[in-house]
Amino acid sequence: MTKKKTVEVKDIFNEDDEDFISLTAMLKSKDGSFFISDWLRNRNTVEFLGIWEAVYHPDFNYTEFGTIRNFKQH
């Protein structure tokens, strides 16, 4: 039998009828720091975050993101 794990999220915000959870809120959960660091080790995650930020944030700093992306490849 598979056990389901749940996390109670208190910091949900809503914009245009879409719910969002901040990474800060995720870090506050049990083992959150491990979860985030493990997730960010994946190159696909970093690329996804760059694309998402470019689409949804007009002031996205491409230069700074390039520094982060190149750092993750080494």
Has residue 12 got a pLDDT over 60?
A: yes
pTM of the model: 0.51
Pick from 40, 29, 51, 49: nearest CA to 73: 40
pLDDT per position as a tens digit, 40-73: 778 888 888 889 889 988 899 989 988 888 875 5
CA gap 44, 13 in Å, rounded:
26
Q: Which residue has the higher pLDDT, 61 or 8?
A: 61
CA atoms within 13 A on the CB side of 56: 8
Q: Which residue has the higher pLDDT, 67 or 8?
A: 67
Pick from 73, 45, 49, 46: nearest CA to 60: 49
Three-state DSSP class for 74? coil
pLDDT per position as a tens digit, 18-32: 887 776 666 666 666
Give pLDDT, residue 29: 65
